Amino acid sequence: MQITLETKPYASLETDALVTPVFEGDDPVQGRVAELDQLTGGLLKKLAASGELTGKTLEFTLLHTPAGLKARRLLLVGAGKKDQFNVATLRKIAGAALRSLKAKSVSNFAFLAGGTLPVADGSQAIVEGLLTGDFETDKYKTDKKDKKIESVLLAGFPENAAEEAQKGMSRGRIIAESQNFARDLINEPSNKLTPRVLAEKAQAMAKDAGLSVDVLDEKKIADLKMGALLSVAQGGPEPPRMIVVTYTPANAKPGAPVIGLVGKAVTFDTGGISIKPADGMEKMKYDMAGGATMLGTMRALAALKPNVKVICVVPATENMPGGTAQKPGDIQTAMSGKTIEVLNTDAEGRLILADAITYAKQLGVTHIVDAATLTGAIVVALANINVGVFGSADQSWTDKLLTSAKATGEKMWQMPMDDEYREFIKGSFADIQNIGSGKGGGSITGAWFIREFAGDTPWIHLDIAGTAWNDDAKPWLAKGPTGVALRTLVHLVLSQ
């Protein structure tokens, strides 16, 4: 999809549709909407008076052949209250407008920027919304609807702000295309995306992006004594992989941190011997969303070129219930030497992250963020609204991530990590056990298990189990994978 900055007067744009946000208030016909009202002969004030145009968030009002405009349609999209307007709202408006117009077989339109956001932030949010909204999950359908948005004009920015708008547009495209790269991986069925195929796709991405990559096969994994990862992989015929992608800046700042991005990639999770219920198990193809998100983040960072080194480590495996699978009660030895009593084989993500984090530390990372579809418990706590955030004793590192989440408009909520929860994973027959012994707090005990391997290294765990997948389509996003946390992670790294 071509997205172009347009500085000509919006009334003269010959396009299938002109889209503009409308703010909620006693009188929504204000500012640019008031200009449009004058051009259309007072029609918008009449619609507002009748209650048809209110500006409530994502309320759509579509006018055909509007007087005073060369555009064939005028789409007014509710932006909510002006004092609550942010990049997340603008991103949703852009995505929702695109999906609505695409469904009506519109092939091109102009988006009229508005609001109080800085120009670069606004143009970036619009482009992100357009590109992520355009992503569809019908790759394997043979009767795909042949509806496509060919081009979008971004209008309404002041002429003297063109350079800033272009900067935002460029950054928005990089981030959105990287998010869609991750979403495409997440959406792949497990017969198409095995650990070996994921490693091949990571290698191809790294080569295209100019990143260095190393893939450890099962022999190297065994040589490094990654017993936790091997224990999960042993139940099926597919061998595991440990994927390492590295970005090294041309001009690293002296004393700058080396950031480790670690992502769980269970390409299919049956639960192992502790097998999951059949209902909904097909979605366990997205149990590699954390790994895909980290690979997408690296793709974006390669183009945005931060001044800090970033090492991405993705442990990839299936979790199968074959005759060689590990069993409840088995004791495994992780790469760190710590012993683990496996009480539930469906708590496997924390096992593979244990070895990945140990390896990342061995590679020299000084600060870690991991992302994983780790627990159903986080869905109970936060539903599908917020990512669960868990941090080590270094609260300053966690605060930086939360600041980045707020700046990018991704909802994240910090969960408690009190020392009392550590007692829940104290092992009876090994150093630690892989599920908590108490009732409740499952997402916290899962995080505590991972923290055991992070040690004193500043560390953050993102539990994205409730937010990595949309069970239903949103007005601004297709059903399926979301690519959640990628924007936050990119912002976090760039802010260092």
124: phi then psi, degrees, rounded to nearest 5: -65, -45
Closest CA to 349 of 491, 460, 231: 231
Give the integer Cα–Cα distance in Å for 267 and 22.
43
Given 350, 361, 400, 451, the catalytic residue: 350
Burial of residue 144, with CB atoms counted within 10 A of its CB: 0-12 exposed, 13-18 middle, 19 or more buried: exposed
* 32: its two tokens: 């640019």
Give the integer Cα–Cα distance in Å for 451 and 94.
39
H helix intervals, 188-240: 195-209, 218-223, 227-233
Q: Is 153 helix (H, G, I), strand (E, B) or coil?
A: strand
Residue 461 · residue 354 · CB < 8 Å: no
Q: Residues 403-416, buried b or exposed e (16+ Cβ, 10 A)?
A: ebbebbbbebebbe
**What count of other Cβ atoms lies within 10 Å of the Cβ of residue 429?**
9
**Amino acid (one-letter) located at 399:** D
Given 70, 82, 167, 276, the catalytic residue: 276
Is 350 known to be catalytic? yes
**Beta bridge pairs of residue 64:** 73
Is 305 known to be catalytic? no
| Sign of the alpha-carbon dihedral angle for 366, 369, 372, 375 | positive
User: Which are the catalytic amino acids?
Assistant: 276, 350
